[in-house]
Chain A
Amino acid sequence: MIQLNHINLTLPEFSLKDITLEIQKNDFFSLIGPTGSGKSLLLEGMMGLIPFSSGTMFLENHDITTLAVEKRNLALVYQDFALFPHLDVTQNIFYGVSYHKIPKLTAQKRFDALVSTLGLEKITKRRPQHLSGGEKQRIALARSLILNPNVLLLDEPLSALDPIFHEDAKQLLKKIHDDLEITVIMVSHNFSDVLYLANRGAIIKNGRIMQQGDIMSIFEQPNSTFTASFVGMKNITPICRQNNHIVIKDINIEIAISHPPGINDTYMGIRPEDISLTASSSNHFKNCFQGNITKITSHGIFLNIYLQTENFQFEAIWPRSYLRDHGLDIGKTVAFGFHPESVHTF
């Protein structure tokens, strides 16, 4: 288990403020935030590469706050993999073995197993600069995993990869976590990667933790407009509470909800994929509206649809085929709706 208690890290141009985190053994924990939010800095601080200004860090109840980086037995895989260019793949993977006093035979067994699992058999004698991004990442993982670290720290492991390697790398990280039962801390700015890989996580903004907990609870119950928009929620707007429903502030649109909002909740959000087309007479959704399609923007195989009601513009995401099948286009009036369960308040 890793515990960070009230960590502060002050640099001339940026600081981490009062970070408190608890990461359980075998967690796949993700530090999530936009670029420049301080998540990689926190990772380097945990690794011991940059000393914390204040606060404490415990690993399995041992205080490692001031322990030298090489003695922590944490492994860090950089975004650009940081492979040593003057060493071949085998030498890169064996680099740390001598420092961890791993017997030669054990190291060789681990090497053989990793090379086989990660599909590196054909490139063991090659230099890293002649390899693809996916291969480099697997070498960097093997180089760390041969040391059998307590925790594997991954700094944006998927963002430097070509799209063709992205999916394979995701599966590989999942497999490594599941097979080796290792604690993984991954920095990422892509929530869909996090949703697939991590079971717990924390959202960081400007060096502060905004929310932490189970990934699904962050996804479903964001506690701020920032987190809500970061996890892909749209239709975020201020609300007023009424008995069994909420009202969009200033424009008096009633929204049915499945459970009463929290006492401090002042905003609502609805995922755009939760808004569906409906027949105008249907009350299937409890929240039904009529609106004009004012704008359609491409979102890959999906389209963002902007639906203007009398007082409020909703945003939905529908597949291209959906529009084609229903003959929808800009200027058309449509009936649409969403379930009360789809309304999130925070």
Chain B
Amino acid sequence: MKRIEPLNWLFMFMSLPLILLLTLPLIKMTFEPSMEMMIETLSDKDVVNAIARSISLSFCAGILSFAMGTPLAYLLARKRIVGKKIIEGIIDLPIMIPHPVVGIAFLSLTGRNNPIGRFLSDIGIQIMGTQTGIVCVLLFVGLPFYINTVKAGFESVPIRLENASRTLGAGAFSTFVRITFPLTWRHMILGIIMCTARAISEFGAVVIVAYHPMTAPVMIYERFTAYGLKYSQPIAVWLILISFILFIVLRMLSKSINHEYR
């Protein structure tokens, strides 16, 4: 039989409280609502809409992060930019600042008293109380996860491969399409999943920018304050299940990234 090192026993023992801290509340909550309650919750149109809205708007934020974040991640990974560390710090900022602050900042920027707000209003873009506003804040909170994942992807492609492509006659754009993208698309998928998963869980910023239309986290909060724990739990369980599936996919993808081309 394979002998386990005493150090490993010690580390396993030390890890146990952390595992329990992560799993116990979730397990308790997941198994508390009855099956009838769970099915009944799904028959509530408002709940289904809120969950679908959360997922679709979060996915929208994920796709936008792909479209807008990929060029920035490439520049940060490949080019010597003045103030690169400052830009990287700014990108990480949404991870640190309290999310209600994000919502307040968005409202103050896009209000009628602000030129940007007036401009957006003039061209028909409303932030307050709209799905557009929700996508904006979800993109804000999810973008660091996308950029950092994809930047690591670009950094993992040896620059010599891009140079070799150039020496064989390919221009910079061709090289990106034929070499860099095929070697980093898995990181991009991973980044979209990370960004989407983070966006699904967002509450603080969303509740300030758009209480309505209601996303799943806002609805959980509303049901909890209006009807109590029993009525908010099934929605939370559905949200946990969906997030769990997303992260399983994420782990499987990251595993395949590690083994590809080695």
Interface residue? B83 (CB, 8 A): no
Q: How far is the CB of B157 from chain A (nearest CB, A)?
A: 9
Interface residue? A324 (CB, 8 A): no
Interface centre among A68, A76, A84 (most CB of B within 10 A): A84
- Inter-subunit contact B169/A49 (CB<8 Å): no
Q: How far is the CA of A168 from the CA of B70 in the complex (A)?
A: 44
Question: Which residues of A from 84 to 109 have beta carbons under 8 Å from B?
Answer: 84-86, 95-96, 99-100
Residues of B within 8 A of A129 (CB): 261-262
- Inter-subunit contact A99/B169 (CB<8 Å): yes
Q: Which of B163, B170, B182, B261 contacts A96 (CB 8 A)?
A: B170
Q: How far is the CA of A279 from the CA of B161 in the complex (A)?
A: 61
- Inter-subunit contact B167/A75 (CB<8 Å): yes
Interface residue? A185 (CB, 8 A): no
Q: Which of A44, A47, A84 contacts B161 (CB 8 A)?
A: A84
Interface contacts (Cβ under 8 Å), in number, total 61
- Inter-subunit contact A78/B160 (CB<8 Å): yes
Interface residue? A144 (CB, 8 A): yes
Residues of A within 8 A of B160 (CB): 78, 80, 82
Q: How far is the CB of B171 from chain A (nearest CB, A)?
A: 6
Interface residue? A147 (CB, 8 A): yes
- Inter-subunit contact A82/B262 (CB<8 Å): no
Q: Which of A76, A82, A96, A99 contacts B158 (CB 8 A)?
A: A82
Interface residue? B166 (CB, 8 A): yes
Q: Which of A49, A68, A80, A96 contacts B168 (CB 8 A)?
A: A96
Question: Which residues of A from 43 to 102 have beta carbons under 8 Å from B?
Answer: 44, 47, 49, 68-70, 74-76, 78, 80, 82, 84-86, 95-96, 99-100
Residues of B within 8 A of A49 (CB): 163, 166-167
- Inter-subunit contact A76/B170 (CB<8 Å): no
* A95-B168, A99-B168 known; A86+B182 contact, CB < 8 A: yes
In the complex, the chain B residue whose C-beta lies closest to that of A102 is B169
In the complex, the chain B residue whose C-beta lies closest to that of A71 is B169
Q: How far is the CA of A68 from the CA of B167 in the complex (A)?
A: 10
- Inter-subunit contact B261/A86 (CB<8 Å): yes
Q: How far is the CA of A86 from the CA of B171 in the complex (A)?
A: 19
Residues of A within 8 A of B161 (CB): 82, 84-85
Question: Which residues of A from 138 to 176 have beta carbons under 8 Å from B?
Answer: 143-144, 147
Q: How far is the CB of B78 from chain A (nearest CB, A)?
A: 13
Interface of B is mostly: helix
Interface residue? B130 (CB, 8 A): no
Q: Which of A74, A80, A86 contacts B167 (CB 8 A)?
A: A74
Interface residue? B165 (CB, 8 A): yes
Interface centre among B163, B167, B262 (most CB of A within 10 A): B167
Residues of B within 8 A of A86 (CB): 182-183, 261
Q: How far is the CB of B190 from chain A (nearest CB, A)?
A: 17
Interface residue? B120 (CB, 8 A): no
Residues of A within 8 A of B163 (CB): 44, 47, 49, 69, 76, 78, 82
Q: How far is the CA of A144 from the CA of B183 in the complex (A)?
A: 22
Residues of A within 8 A of B165 (CB): 84, 95
Q: How far is the CB of B187 from chain A (nearest CB, A)?
A: 13
Interface centre among B160, B166, B169, B182 (most CB of A within 10 A): B169
- B154-196 to A contact mask, C-beta < 8 Å, 1/0: 0000101101111111110010001100110000000000000
Q: How far is the CA of A44 from the CA of B169 in the complex (A)?
A: 15
- Inter-subunit contact B179/A70 (CB<8 Å): no
- Inter-subunit contact A84/B179 (CB<8 Å): yes
- Inter-subunit contact A69/B166 (CB<8 Å): yes
Q: How far is the CA of A70 from the CA of B166 in the complex (A)?
A: 5
Q: How far is the CB of A44 from chain B (nearest CB, A)?
A: 8
- Inter-subunit contact A76/B183 (CB<8 Å): no
In the complex, the chain B residue whose C-beta lies closest to that of A91 is B178
- Inter-subunit contact B174/A69 (CB<8 Å): no
Q: How far is the CA of A157 from the CA of B171 in the complex (A)?
A: 25
Interface centre among B158, B168, B261 (most CB of A within 10 A): B168
- Inter-subunit contact B169/A70 (CB<8 Å): yes
Q: How far is the CA of A69 from the CA of B171 in the complex (A)?
A: 8
Residues of A within 8 A of B167 (CB): 47, 49, 69-70, 74-76, 144
Which A positions have Cβ atoms within 8 angstroms of B?
44, 47, 49, 68-70, 74-76, 78, 80, 82, 84-86, 95-96, 99-100, 129, 143-144, 147
Which B positions have Cβ atoms within 8 angstroms of A?
158, 160-161, 163-171, 174, 178-179, 182-183, 261-262
Question: Which 7 residue pairs of A and B lie closest in terms of their CB atoms, listed nearest first?
Answer: A99-B169, A96-B168, A82-B164, A85-B261, A82-B160, A76-B167, A96-B169
* 28 A/B residue pairs, CB under 8 Å, sorted by A: A47-B167, A49-B167, A69-B163, A70-B170, A75-B168, A76-B167, A78-B163, A78-B164, A80-B160, A82-B158, A82-B160, A82-B161, A82-B163, A84-B164, A84-B165, A85-B161, A85-B183, A86-B183, A95-B178, A96-B168, A96-B170, A99-B169, A99-B170, A99-B171, A99-B174, A129-B262, A143-B168, A144-B167
A70-B171, A82-B158, A99-B171 given; name 18 further pairs at CB < 8 Å. A44-B163, A47-B163, A49-B166, A68-B171, A70-B170, A74-B167, A76-B164, A84-B164, A86-B182, A86-B183, A95-B178, A96-B170, A99-B168, A99-B174, A129-B261, A129-B262, A143-B168, A144-B167
